[in-house]
Amino acid sequence: MDQDLLLSETCSNCGFPLTDCVCDLLNKSTQAALNVIVEKRRYRKNYTIVSGFDKDMDVKTITKTLKTKLACGGTFKNNKIEIQGAHKEKTIKILKEMGYKAN
Ligand SMILES: [Zn+2]
């Protein structure tokens, strides 16, 4: 009885029963996590560096969003986003809000 009930509820996305839904797993395996670090440079200036982008990521939008939300200058070069200042936690939060994995 219980089993019938569970089987009747399937995930609309992957088609598996909700108890066996593999969507999370699929998302995790296809999306690389972005790496966020704070780097200290000359004159004791801090930079927040985001790396680990792959080709399908919209880097322009990510850079723009980070700059806007952090209200800081930033550039994209050598496949990395450099934001002025130390904003590791905030940057991770913003990236996650945008649907990216970051740590
Ligand atoms: Zn699913």
Instruction: Dump pLDDT digits (tens) for 1-22.
Output: 555 554 568 888 888 888 888 8
- Ligand 1 center from residue 7 Cα (angstroms): 13
Domain assignments of the chain as residue spans, ordered by start? 1-30, 32-103
- C-alpha of residue 26 to centroid of ligand 1, in Å: 9
Burial of 2 (0-12, 13-18, 19+ CB in 10 A): exposed
* Secondary structure (H, E, C), 34-48: EEEEEEECHHHCEEE
Protein residues near ligand 1, an ion, with CB under 5 A = 11, 13-14, 21, 23
Q: What is the pLDDT of residues 56-97, one digit of tens each?
A: 788 999 999 999 999 999 999 999 999 999 999 999 999 999
CATH number of 32-103: 3.30.360.10, 3.40.50.1240, 3.30.780.10, 3.40.50.1980? Answer: 3.30.780.10
Ligand 1 center from residue 8 Cα (angstroms): 14
Question: Measured between alpha carbons, how far is 37 from 44 in angstroms, rounded to an integer?
Answer: 15
